[in-house]
């Protein structure tokens, strides 16, 4: 699968825009399942579970292609991350993700402490052409969030529906590239899941801003940089002390991809 050789895809970016959150002062669990559609067709499913306790977090995610797409490509992936919550952003202490297409797989591991990267392991290694690539430097690995820790979003000002929760810039490092996800407030709306949450969600628009490790002349990079059709819906969890992704929508070069919760449950631990 081409995704095993590319550093990022629109759907992967969409996943980064999902905001999982939990209380900074109280342990809680989050458990959700999502459908993944592309151009109106269901192509996969995903699950997310997390525990936050004593200012630390541990998150697990998994996703798989289903139906005809799954039969043709047999793609799946899973990942985990841990760290601590500090202010408006998480502080990554470790990350690992594995993706497979049935015949080949790749694992990326990032060792970090307090948001500072200590080492990266990619197996098998990626053969990345260096011509035209913006070089990664030491400063691009400091004060960053790994792709799964980017899913953690502490609530600001004690109000999960405060528009300040959308006004954030997430500095993400995925092992080969450093980029920002810039969120902006777009509104509030009501939702009703098939199992679990019913109520208001915070709607944020998002932009992809490449910083280093990318090739500016690539068509996909140009498309995502100029893309203004990305949004995420964040639902309150754990007594309104946190936010979690309910839905995201990303326009891609082959249609709009939507990841939306079907089961959405949260409870104190």
Each of the 269 residues of the chain gets a pLDDT tens digit; together they read 444 444 444 444 444 444 333 333 345 788 899 999 998 889 899 999 888 766 778 889 999 888 666 555 668 899 999 988 767 888 889 999 999 887 788 999 999 998 899 999 999 998 877 788 999 999 999 999 998 888 778 888 889 999 999 999 999 999 999 999 999 999 999 999 888 889 999 999 999 999 999 999 999 999 999 999 999 999 887 667 677 788 999 999 999 999 999 999 887 65
pTM (predicted TM-score): 0.83
Nearest to 245 by CA among 38, 7, 93, 50: 50
Residue 258 neighbours by CB under 8 Å, 6+ apart: 36, 37, 247, 248, 249, 250
């Amino acid at each position: 699968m081409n995704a095993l050789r590319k550093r990022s895809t629109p759907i992967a970016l969409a996943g980064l825009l999902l905001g999982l959150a939990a209380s900074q002062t109280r342990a809680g669990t989050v458990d959700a399942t999502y459908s993944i559609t592309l151009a109106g067709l269901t192509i996969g499913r995903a699950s997310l579970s997390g525990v936050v306790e004593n200012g630390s977090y541990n998150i697990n995610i998994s996703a798989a292609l289903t139906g005809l797409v799954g039969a043709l490509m047999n793609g799946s992936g899973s990942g985990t991350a841990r760290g601590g919550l500090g202010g408006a952003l998480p502080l990554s202490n470790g990350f690992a993700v594995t993706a497979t297409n049935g015949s080949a797989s790749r694992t990326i591991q990032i060792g970090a402490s307090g948001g500072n990267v200590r080492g990266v392991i990619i197996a098998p290694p990626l053969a990345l052409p260096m011509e035209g690539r913006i070089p990664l430097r030491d400063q691009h690995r400091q004060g960053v969030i790994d792709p799964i820790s980017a899913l953690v979003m502490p609530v600001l000002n004690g109000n999960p529906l405060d528009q300040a929760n959308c006004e954030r810039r997430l500095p993400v490092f995925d092992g080969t590239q450093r980029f920002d996800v810039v969120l902006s407030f777009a509104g509030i709306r009501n939702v009703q899941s098939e199992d679990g949450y019913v109520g208001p969600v915070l709607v944020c628009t998002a932009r992809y801003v490449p910083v280093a490790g990318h090739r500016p002349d690539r068509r996909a990079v140009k498309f995502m940089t100029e893309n203004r059709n990305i949004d995420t819906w964040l639902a309150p969890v754990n007594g309104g002390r946190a936010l979690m992704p309910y839905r995201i929508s990303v326009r891609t070069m082959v249609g709009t991809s939507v990841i939306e919760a079907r089961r959405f449950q949260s409870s104190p631990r």
